[in-house]
Amino acid sequence: MSILSVKNLEKKFGDLTVLKDISFDINDGEIISIIGSSGSGKSTLLRCMNQLETITSGTITIDGKTLVETKNGTPVYAGKDVLKEILMETGFVFQNFNLFPQYTALENVMLAKKLLAAEQPDFKERKREILTAIEVQAKVLLTQMGLDNRMDNYPHQLSGGQCQRVAIARALALQPDILCFDEPTSALDPELTGEVLKVIKSLTDLHITMVIVTHEMAFAKEISDRIIFMDKGVIIEDASPDEVFSSDNERTREFLGKYHDVN
Ligand code: ADP
Ligand code: MG
């Protein structure tokens, strides 16, 4: 079953078209890597899916709900409630972690849940019980990320790899159906990259749909059900890792040729 569907997506910044007629479907539980040179539109695509950018035209459907569709050439977004529902179903782990520096690891993981809980009508009566449950869940997630002895540390007291694992725990706290990663290891040293890739690989057991923008080709080849290769705002390949890595397409060959470790 398709959990995410993008049809004829176009995104312009002023006169610059950065996404051109992008269409693809992702099935429930699939792991998709998006690869391509810097500037090819990978982040913009993820940001359009996560409501961080508005599209110029096209359709995006997430878990059967229409996020945006185009009528008479104009994109029409869903109402506030539906947008929020969809947002709750899609987690996003950023390139630069985006942790709140003034909060500990534990507080960072708990924050979104606490804000949501405070909106519930029965929050006042059940405050203690609800907050305890949120804290227990955050501690379980941080422990799963190997950070059981780091919960009370602030981001500046953690390595880049540890920060990224906190960011992953924070995204998982909302139990998303789809988890998007934008170059989760690009800000990390090689040894820290390995530790974060290992954590992401361990998430495959959770059967969450994952969309991962990455330059780690060996990792993408190993972990993905499908790889999407983008070049200059268009999808050149959308196929199994084996098919993409043995593609005859000239642009694909040229791009992958830069990564000697997997060829
Ligand atoms: P990638 O993630 O593949 O490196 P991006 O999606 O970040 O590519 O960028 C695609 C293109 O869109 C680039 O040419 C970039 O300069 C441009 N771009 C991205 N964000 C903006 C923005 N907010 N305003 C104008 N141009 C942008
Ligand atoms: Mg990017």
pLDDT in tens, 152-162: 999 999 999 99
163 pLDDT more than 80: yes
39 Cβ inside 6 Å of ligand 1:
yes
263 pLDDT more than 60: no
Query: Which residue's CA lies nearest to atom 20 of ligand 1?
Result: 44
41 Cβ inside 6 Å of ligand 1:
yes
**Closest Cα to residue 171, out of 224, 107, 93, 223?**
93
Rounded to 5 degrees, φ, ψ at 29 are 85, -5
pLDDT given for residue 191 in this prediction? 87
Query: Which residue's CA lies nearest to atom 5 of ligand 1?
Result: 41
13 Cβ inside 6 Å of ligand 1:
yes
Per-residue burial over 114-143, b = 16 or more CB atoms within 10 Å of its CB, e = otherwise: beebeeeeeeeeeeeebbeebbebbbebbe
Residue 77: both structure tokens together: 């977004």
Q: Is the model's pTM score more than 0.85?
A: yes
Residue 93's alpha-carbon distances to 19, 57, 166, 225, 227, in angstroms, are: 21, 25, 10, 20, 19
pLDDT band, residue 261 (cuts 50/70/90): low
